[in-house]
Amino acid sequence: MSLKFALHALVIGYALSLMGCASTPAPLPPELQYREPAPEAQAGTIIGFQVETTWWKDNKTAFLFAIDDKRVLAGRDGWSRPLRLGAGNHRITAAIQQGLWFGYADMNLDVAQGRAYRVRFFPCGDSSHEKYYCDLWFEDLSTSKPVTDQVVTAEVVLNADGMNFGRPVPIFLPKK
C-alpha cells in the first residue's frame, strides 16, 4: 500500500512540476490585428475556399492570413466568413492548409466597390510527397474569373509538435 502511495505521489509531484512549463501565448497586440472597415465604408468582401477530401484526410482550406500586413485572427476556422475590405489596393497574404502542411503567398488585390472576392487554389498534389506547393489566386465571386495572377505558395511543413521545417511562417512585429 505504501509503495502505491509513493508512486502516486511521485507522478502527481512530477505533473505539478511541469505546470509552469505550459503557458498561454500572449495575445497579438491590437496594432498587428486586421480591423475590418465599418460596414458603410466597405467596398467589397473576400472569403476563403475549401475542398473536402476523403474521410481519412483533412480538408484543403484556403484562407486569409493577413491583410495589409495585419494578421487576420479568424484564421483557418474563419475561411467561410466574408471579411470587409476598403476600396483600393491591398496586400493580402493568403494561405492554404491541409493537416500539418501549410503554404502561403503574398498577392495584391485591387478592391472595387460592391465586389466580392474569393481565394482559390489549383488542386494540389498528395501531401505525402517531399515537395508540395499550390497555386493561389483571387477570383471575382460573381463571375468566377481570376482577378489576380496565380502565385506559387511558399511551403511550410509542420511536424506533430507544430514546429516548422522548410520556409518560415511570417511573423508580424509592431513598427516603432
- pTM given for the model: 0.71
H or E element, residue 18: helix 2-18
What's the rounded Cα separation, in Å, for the pair 95 and 153? 8
Looking at the predicted structure, is the pLDDT value of residue 83 above 90? yes
Nearest of 137, 134, 128 to residue 100 by alpha carbon = 128
Please identify which residue in the block is written with the cell numbers 486569409.
Answer: 64
Q: What is the pLDDT of residue 40?
A: 80
* More confident: 34 or 2: 34
pLDDT digits (tens, 9 = 90+) for 14-69: 554 555 555 566 788 888 889 988 888 788 999 988 887 766 677 888 899 999 99
Confidence at residue 23, expressed as pLDDT on a 0 to 100 scale = 56
Q: 159-176 pLDDT, tens per residue?
A: 444 444 444 455 556 666
pLDDT of 155: 65
| pLDDT at position 78 over 80 | yes
Instruction: For residues 81 and 152, give the distance between their C-alpha atoms in angstroms, rounded to a whole number.
Output: 24
Cα distance between residue 48 and residue 36, in whole Å = 16
Per-residue confidence (pLDDT) for residue 170, from 0 to 100: 58
Phi, psi at 82, each rounded to 5° = -65, 135
Contacts for 96 with CB less than 8 Å, ≥ 6 apart: 60, 61, 62, 63, 102, 103, 104, 121, 124, 134, 136, 153
Name residue 24's amino acid.
T
Q: Which of 10-14, 104-108, 149-153, 170-174 has the lowest mean pLDDT?
A: 10-14
Digit-coded pLDDT (tens) for 109-152: 999 999 999 999 876 655 454 556 788 899 999 999 999 998 88
pLDDT confidence of residue 115:
93
pLDDT at 143: 94
* pLDDT for residue 176: 63
Helices and strands: H and E segment counts in the chain: 1, 12
